[in-house]
Amino acid sequence: TSPEDGGLQEVLDEIYTELYITQGRREEVNTQHEVWQLETTSRMETLHDTPIKCQDIFKPLAGQDTHIRVVVTQGVAGIGKTFSVQKFTLDWAEGLENQHVSLVVLLSFRELNLIKDEQYSLLQLLRVFHPTLQTVTAEKLAVCKVVFIFDGLDESRFLLDFQNNEVVSDVTQTSSVDVLLTNLIKGKLLPSALLWITSRPAAANQISPTCVDRVTEVRGFTDLQKEEYFRRRSSDEELSSRITSHIKASRSLHIMCHIPVFCWITATVLEHMLTIDQRGELPKSLTDMYSHFLHDRNQQELMETDREVLLKLGRLAFEHLEKGNLMFYQEDLEECGLDVREASVYSGVCTEIFKTECVLFQRKVYCFVHLSIQEFLAAVYIFHCYTNRNTEVLARVMRTHKNKCGDNEPSLDIFLKTVMSEALQSKNGHLDLFVRFLHGLSLESNQRLLGGLLGQTESRPEDIQRVINNLKETDSVSPDRSINIFHCLMEMNDLSVHQDIQEFLNINHIIINAIVIITISNYSCIFYSVFRLSDCRLTESCWASLASTLKSNPHLTELDLSESQLQDSGVELLSAGLESPNCRLKTLRLRRCGLSRSCWASLASALKSNPHLIELDLSESQLQDSGVELLSAGLESPNCRLKTLRLSYCSLTESCCASLISALMSNPHLTELDLSENWLEDSGVELLSALVESPNCSLKTLRSLGAHSSSATYPELGRGGSSLSRDTQTSLSPDISTSSSGGPPRRSQASRET
């Protein structure tokens, strides 16, 4: 069943699977397509998340004594926001939870929109939406504990002008619904009431942060909850196990299964293919899955009437996808020539993918069971228009092509290239999944599943190859947008993108953000074990995702983050990843990453628990003597197998040598140590000389060039080819301000290694 938006109708408390709700929100989500937000979620570090059950949404966390009056819960479309508030209401009504609450009032914005221009008092509004409250008086309302739940802020047609709306404090005072809402949220009207507002991420900022006491995010199903959903859906344990195994094998499907309704779609398709059809390869891409879903709803060739209805739904889907609408009214359907009564009679598909709700005054609103269904049908409609040469519609999606090529009919590769170009101009990627589906529909396998729905199609291998080449040659694209190019290649089953992922993303010297790293780690690490991300200006939001990659990907063996703004907080997250038993990283380069004293303890802890790391570069960090003392504790651990340690330009003095030597005497693995360009002085160099001579020391290479001692050279030390020398040609002179404070020499840009 679909636990929010569709599927077979079952009792709520029988099919409910707990959703993952966390306190706080991620700031980057508003600039990404919602599917990519799911991708971010799938790799986000959860150590610092605070899970909250929906029945505890107004309860302070342990150790907190704050009053929580207004809660905003955000989440992508179909993730389970409405389902969560329904569960909250059901548990309260059945006497299971929150019995201190006297009244729960659920109001959806899709219904409130219908009276947007009318005047009500708060008391009248309650009676209009809930006639059973006719006997509730203003006096009773003032003394009872009320919870207002406003569901679907993203569907709101209200301005919500918090700055200029008049103040209303009397529940019997008549005003516009907009004014009532802002006064309720600000606490001017019925200040004792609790408010819970749900929204998709992009619309959540309509509520002023000063009015909100708690922000939560519905993350959907965790991996364990996905498995629980499939187990509860089917009594056949072997079947549910096979479904779970297939989803885990396909990263695209696994990510989408954070959404409850996609779990329903996936289960519907896979159950049919594994029990009834038992033929053909199971779907691995999103286009493949949705094509099977439409195909399996009607095993026979689509009737002409069915095709007409589905294409009209596709037109509705496309026209409102452009506008950003998920909800439709009767007039919207009529504009597309769609008779819902005909749809329900002639097409069993429509009743499962297109939902009708009776709301206020028996007015009907319509929606697809999920945004991705709308995007898929929009792609089906546009591909149909392409194959049938519907130039009027194509002109709307190929504006740039029309300007360049006049009235010539475009080839498949030009058609898809132009649509991709249009989509890449979107700031929030709202057409990304639509374009991804379009590329998937170019494959003959998906066209065959959809029968005559797409019209007469002919996708020759050479056409497909040109499409793939165009995608790989796309340039001047921001990292956020380039990820969708990668996904389009995956939809076209172009597996070569795994091998040349580094070239595809032009990984050197571009601005990388979290979603790029996540996608690389999600899809390419099985084939690619080295990430060289030096000088890529990585952002703060990357580190949790990358740490999660270290925990889950045993194939990654080399990571170069040099010259990134990693800082101490980033090292702490990466250290947690290094401590994972799944981490097999051998080389970690963190040169010139803005590191200072507060991160060394966590890195030392990682050295104690990670037996795989053999090379660590911390050059040009503010390690200082105190940091060396902490790292030395890690080096002394029997679990530490580090062979190479680079600490040049780290503000070290002779004071750190004793602790460092102690660690090296007990570590039989370290064979190369770079301490060049530090303030070791003669006393430090003498200690190091003695270290190399010791039979307990395994060092073969010890660099202390520019160690700033009084002598110019030191003799070679014979054991094991070890050497200790000062190179007077490359030594840098400290500037006056540095030497006066006893700090390290500064490294000039001219001498900096690349």
* Furthest-apart CA atoms within the chain: distance in Å: 99
Query: Which SS3 state, helix, strand or coil, does residue 93 take?
Result: helix
Higher pLDDT, 652 or 722: 652
Q: State yes or no: pLDDT of 302 exceeds 70.
A: no
More confident residue, 714 or 85: 85
Question: Which residues have C-beta within 8 Å of that of residue 260, sequence separation ≥ 6?
Answer: 2, 3, 4, 5, 17, 19, 78, 79, 80, 83, 220, 221, 229
Confidence of residue 517 (pLDDT cuts 50, 70, 90): low
- The residue length of the chain stands at 754
pLDDT value of residue 340: 67
User: Which among 220, 155, 202, 529 has a CA at the least distance from the CA of 367?
Assistant: 155
Give residue 748's pLDDT: 32
What value does the mean pLDDT take over residues 451-463?
80
Q: What is the mean pLDDT of residues 233-244?
A: 91
Alpha carbons 507 and 482: distance in angstroms, whole number: 11
6-10, 516-520, 615-619 — most confident range: 615-619
Q: Identify the residue whose tokens are 């990670």.
A: 610
For position 585, what pLDDT does the model report? 92
pLDDT tens across 494-503, in order?
A: 766 555 555 5
Q: Confirm if 152 and 199 have CB atoms less than 8 A apart.
A: yes
CB atoms within 10 A of CB 24: 12
**pLDDT tens digits, 58-95:** 999 888 888 999 999 998 888 889 889 999 999 999 99
> What is the predicted pLDDT for the residue at 397?
82
Report whether pLDDT(600) > 70.
yes
pLDDT reported for residue 358: 63
Q: How confident is the model at residue 598 (pLDDT cuts 50, 70, 90)?
A: confident
pLDDT number for residue 451? 76
For 379-410, the DSSP string reads HHHHHHHHHTT-HHHHHHH-HHHHHHHTTPPP
User: By C-alpha distance, which of 135, 125, 81 is closest to 105?
Assistant: 125
Q: Say if strands 175-176 and 119-120 run parallel, antiparallel, or are unpaired.
A: antiparallel
Per-residue pLDDT at 587: 95
pLDDT of residue 261: 86
DSSP structure string for 477-489 = --HHHHHHHHHHH
Question: Edge-to-edge, what's the strand order for the sheet holding 194-199?
Answer: 20-23, 214-220, 70-74, 194-199, 146-151, 103-108
The answer on pLDDT for 710 being more than 50 is: no
Least confident of 126-140, 298-312, 407-421, 622-636: 298-312
pLDDT at 323: 84
Domains, in order of start, for the chain: 18-220 (3.40.50), 529-740 (3.80.10.10)
Q: Is the pLDDT of residue 734 over 80?
A: no
What is the average per-residue pLDDT within 446-456?
A: 83
Contacts of range 485-488, beta carbons closer than 8 Å, 24 or more positions apart = 485/420, 486/519, 486/523, 487/252, 487/432, 487/436, 487/519, 488/420, 488/435, 488/436, 488/439
pLDDT-derived band at 238 (thresholds 50, 70, 90) equals very high
Residue that the structure tokens 């003394």 belong to = 143
In this prediction, residue 533 carries a pLDDT of: 73
Q: What is the pLDDT of residue 396?
A: 82
C-alpha 19/C-alpha 140 separation (Å) is 35
Considering the chain, what is the average pLDDT of its residues?
79
Answering whether pTM is above 0.75, one says no
Query: pLDDT tens digits for 111-124?
Result: 898 888 999 999 99
What residue has token string 């509860």? 232
Q: Quick one: pLDDT band at residue 401, thresholds 50, 70, 90? A: low
Tokens 């340690």 locate to 645
Residue 631: which of 569, 684, 617, 620 has the closest Cα?
617
Distance CA 205, CA 711 (A): 64
Could you tell me which residue, 735 or 259, shows the higher pLDDT? 259
List, for residues 152-195, the tens digit of each pLDDT value.
998 888 999 999 999 999 999 999 999 999 999 999 999 999 99
- pLDDT value for 713: 35
Whether pLDDT at 753 is above 60: no
pLDDT score for 739:
27
Question: Which H or E run includes 175?
Answer: strand 175-176
Given a contact cutoff of 8 angstroms between Cβ atoms, the answer to whether 126 and 193 are in contact is no
Q: 477, 540, 485, 484: which is closest to 513 by C-alpha?
A: 540
Question: Residue 361: its pLDDT value, please?
Answer: 62
Whether 717 has a pLDDT exceeding 70, the answer reads: no
Least-confidence region, from 9-13, 49-53, 531-535, 571-575: 9-13
> What is the residue type of 293?
F
Query: Of 80-84, 348-352, 439-443, which gets the smallest average pLDDT?
Result: 348-352
Position 362 scores a pLDDT of 62
Q: What is the mean pLDDT of residues 342-356?
A: 59
In the prediction, which pLDDT does 422 show? 86
What pLDDT score was predicted for residue 481?
64
Give me the mean pLDDT over the 500-513 stretch. 48
Model confidence band, residue 225 (pLDDT cutoffs 50, 70, 90): confident
Query: What pLDDT score was predicted for residue 41?
Result: 57
pLDDT range class, residue 455, cuts 50, 70, 90 = confident
Residue 286 has pLDDT above 90, yes or no: yes
Rounded CA separation 7/265 (Å): 8
Partners of 195 in the β-ladder: 70, 148
Give rounded-to-5 percent helix, strand, coil for the chain.
50, 10, 40
Q: Is the pLDDT of residue 202 over 90?
A: no
Mean pLDDT on 189-216: 91
